[in-house]
């Protein structure tokens, strides 16, 4: 066993994490679920989602049998939604092609949707003791520092070098579980991005970055590219105690989730409002921003109260979501936050007089409806309807 692996294994025995809910199991379904959830997501966040998900889908068969919309609902808030779509597709493949059992081999695992080379290795090592190397973001950082590997770890030549190192360092089979977990723990708790605790590190004496004072500069950051901003207008149409939402297409941004109708221009939005409710006037709220990996979404919400349902309510993919359900519906986090604000503003505003559910509302109730929209944050300053 390499000296590096020996030290990591010994350190894990003394200082490794042991209390995470997905540790101590060799159930490939549970390990796979935790590995997918942990990609680009903090442990503290995953713990909550993991328990809720397992309660609803205790095994791969129940997940495969569920509709995608239900999976998206339970995933909502975790972000990176392609993971949830792949999770569902993977469960179906495991059931249809592997008789409900995950393959034991890392190469076969890596052929399943959403399982990359590192995740496949982690599942194979934890569940089947396979001798396969992991290389997630944390491990890349540890290796780049320890071996003073220059260059951005996402660049293909640098990544190849890191993979070679990861494979050279592997211990024998019997130590694979402890080594894999130890390496993960080292990256997550000691060799952290911002404040590494080199004084507590088991491999400090052989770490080149530590010895040469280059810890802060390694690994090299992603080369900077300007991040484009996409500007859109979103419609918050409120009818009674419900808001109009649309199911997004299965792929792309927020794929498969419920979201507010979105338009490229304010003019297009107002045209939609006119078909939705004759004479209604949308009010603009302050713009919000949400950062995705490759672009920033700047969205300007417009709110309108709809007194009566119009044909748009029956469009395929559109539905009226009760505001009381926004915490549990499959909504992206920024849209849920926006709807929380809208719901709070409506709760503070005076209730409108009752009117008939069909036909144009009375002038009194219409004025009250407009007043409630005016009471939403920011609407008075910038009417644009």
Query: Which segment (80-88, 194-202, 240-248, 262-270) binds ligand SF4 by CB under 6 A?
Result: 194-202
Contact map string, positions 117 to 156, toward ligand SF4, x by CB under 6 A: -------------------------x--xx----------
Query: Which segment (7-15, 88-96, 209-217, 257-265) binds ligand SF4 by CB under 6 A?
Result: 209-217
Nearer to ligand SF4, 165 or 191 (CB): 191
Nearer to ligand SF4, 179 or 210 (CB): 210
Q: Does 204 bind ligand SF4 (CB under 6 A)?
A: yes
Q: Which residues contact 278 (CB under 8 A, 6 or more apart)?
A: 310, 360
Give least dist CB 187 to ligand SF4, A.
8
Contact map string, positions 239 to 278, toward ligand SF4, x by CB under 6 A: ----------------------------------------
By CB under 6 A, name the one of 203, 243, 276, 277 that touches ligand SF4. Answer: 203
By CB under 6 A, name the one of 28, 207, 330, 342 that touches ligand SF4. Answer: 207
By CB under 6 A, name the one of 215, 232, 309, 349 that touches ligand SF4. Answer: 215
> What positions carry a catalytic annotation?
35
CB 157 within 8 A of CB 77: no
Torsion from C-alpha of 351, 353, 357, 361, nearest 10 degrees: -110
Give least dist CB 112 to ligand SF4, A.
32
Distance between CA 186 and CA 141 in Å, rounded?
Answer: 10
By CB under 6 A, name the one of 198, 259, 310, 318 that touches ligand SF4. Answer: 198
Nearer to ligand SF4, 83 or 214 (CB): 214
Nearer to ligand SF4, 165 or 307 (CB): 165
Size of the site for ligand SF4 (CB under 6 A): 14
By CB under 6 A, name the one of 37, 175, 201, 277 that touches ligand SF4. Answer: 201
Contact map string, positions 162 to 191, toward ligand SF4, x by CB under 6 A: ----------------------------xx
Q: Does 302 bind ligand SF4 (CB under 6 A)?
A: no
Query: Which segment (3-11, 18-26, 208-216, 364-372) binds ligand SF4 by CB under 6 A?
Result: 208-216
Which residues are near ligand SF4 by CB under 6 A?
142, 145-146, 190-191, 196, 198, 201, 203-204, 207, 209-210, 215
């Amino acid at each position: 066993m390499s000296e590096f692996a020996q030290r990591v294994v010994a350190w894990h025995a003394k200082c490794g994490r042991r209390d995470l809910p997905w540790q101590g199991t060799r159930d490939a379904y549970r390990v796979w679920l935790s590995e997918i959830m942990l990609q680009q997501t903090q442990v503290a966040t995953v713990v909550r989602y993991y328990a809720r998900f397992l309660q609803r889908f205790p095994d791969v068969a129940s997940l495969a049998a569920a509709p995608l919309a239900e999976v998206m609902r339970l995933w909502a808030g975790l972000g990176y939604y392609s993971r949830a779509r792949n999770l569902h597709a993977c469960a179906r493949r495991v059931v249809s092609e592997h008789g409900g059992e995950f393959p034991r081999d890392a190469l076969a695992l890596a052929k399943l949707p959403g399982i990359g080379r590192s995740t496949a290795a982690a599942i194979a090592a934890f569940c089947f003791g396979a001798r396969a190397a992991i290389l997630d973001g944390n491990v890349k950082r540890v290796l780049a520092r320890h071996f003073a590997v220059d260059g951005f770890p996402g660049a293909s030549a640098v990544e190849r070098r890191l993979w070679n190192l990861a494979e050279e360092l592997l211990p024998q089979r019997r130590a694979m579980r402890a080594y894999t977990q130890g390496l993960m723990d080292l990256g997550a708790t000691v060799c952290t991005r911002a404040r590494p605790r080199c004084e507590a590190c088991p491999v400090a004496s052989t770490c080149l970055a530590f010895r040469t004072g280059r810890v802060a500069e390694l690994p090299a950051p992603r080369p900077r590219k300007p991040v484009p901003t996409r500007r859109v207008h979103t419609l918050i149409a409120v009818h009674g105690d419900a808001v109009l939402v649309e199911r997004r297409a299965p792929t792309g941004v927020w794929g498969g989730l419920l979201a507010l109708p979105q338009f490229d221009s304010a003019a297009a939005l107002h045209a939609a409002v006119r078909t939705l409710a004759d004479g209604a006037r949308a009010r603009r709220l302050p713009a919000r921003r949400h950062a995705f990996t490759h672009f920033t979404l700047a969205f300007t919400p417009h709110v309108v109260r709809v007194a009566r349902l119009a044909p748009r309510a029956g469009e395929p993919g559109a539905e009226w979501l009760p505001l009381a359900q926004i915490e549990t519906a499959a909504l992206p986090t920024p849209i849920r936050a926006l709807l929380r604000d809208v719901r709070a503003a409506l709760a503070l505003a005076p209730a409108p007089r009752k009117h008939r559910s069909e036909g144009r509302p009375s002038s009194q109730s219409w004025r009250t409806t407009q007043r409630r929209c005016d009471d939403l944050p920011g609407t008075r300053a910038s009417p644009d309807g």
